[in-house]
Amino acid sequence: AQSVTQLGSHVSVSEGALVLLRCNYSSSVPPYLFWYVQYPNQGLQLLLKYTSAATLVKGINGFEAEFKKSETSFHLTKPSAHMSDAAEYFCAVSEGSGTSYGKLTFGQGTILTVHP
C-alpha cells in the first residue's frame, strides 16, 4: 500500500526566503511522485512530477523537488518565496502497477503563508 506524509500542516516564510515543504512516501514498488498546488476555490495544479528519470525535478513557478530513495523523501523547494506562492500544497504518489490506474494518493497538505 502507498501512503504520503507531509510534515507540517502550516509553513510560514517571509517574502524572498527559502521555501521548503516536506514530503515522505511509502510505496511497495518504485513510485511516481507529484506536487500539486491549490489556490482558494480552485482545483489542483500540477507543479512537477518524478517519474524515475532525473532525481532533481524542476517544475513551474521556480519550484523544484529532489527524489531521495534512501530517505523516501520528495521535498519541494523554492529559493525565494513570492507573495503569489501562498496556497496549499499537496504531495501525491502513484504506484507503477496495474492496480493504480488513475489513482493518486495524497498527503494531508501544507498551507504556505508568505509574509511581506
Partner 1 sequence: KAGVTQTPRYLIKTRGQQVTLSCSPISGHRSVSWYQQTPGQGLQFLFEYFSETQRNKGNFPGRFSGRQFSNSRSEMNVSTLELGDSALYLCASSLAGLAGAGQYFGAGTRLSVL
Q: Which of 85, 105, 39, 106 is nearest to 77 (CA)?
A: 85
Q: Which of 115, 18, 31, 29 is nearest to 76 (CA)?
A: 18
Q: Is 104 in the site for partner 1 (CB under 8 A)?
A: yes
Any residues with CB less than 8 A from the CB of 98 and at least 6 apart, and which? none
Q: Is 32 in the site for partner 1 (CB under 8 A)?
A: yes
Q: Which of 44, 64, 66, 72 binds partner 1 (CB under 8 A)?
A: 44
- Given the complex with partner 1, which of 42 and 70 has the nearer CB atom? 42
- Given the complex with partner 1, which of 59 and 62 has the nearer CB atom? 59
Q: Which of 88, 91, 93, 107 is nearest to 39 (CA)?
A: 88
Chain residues that interact with partner 1, rule: CB under 8 A: 32, 34, 36, 41-46, 49, 51-52, 90, 92, 94-97, 99-109
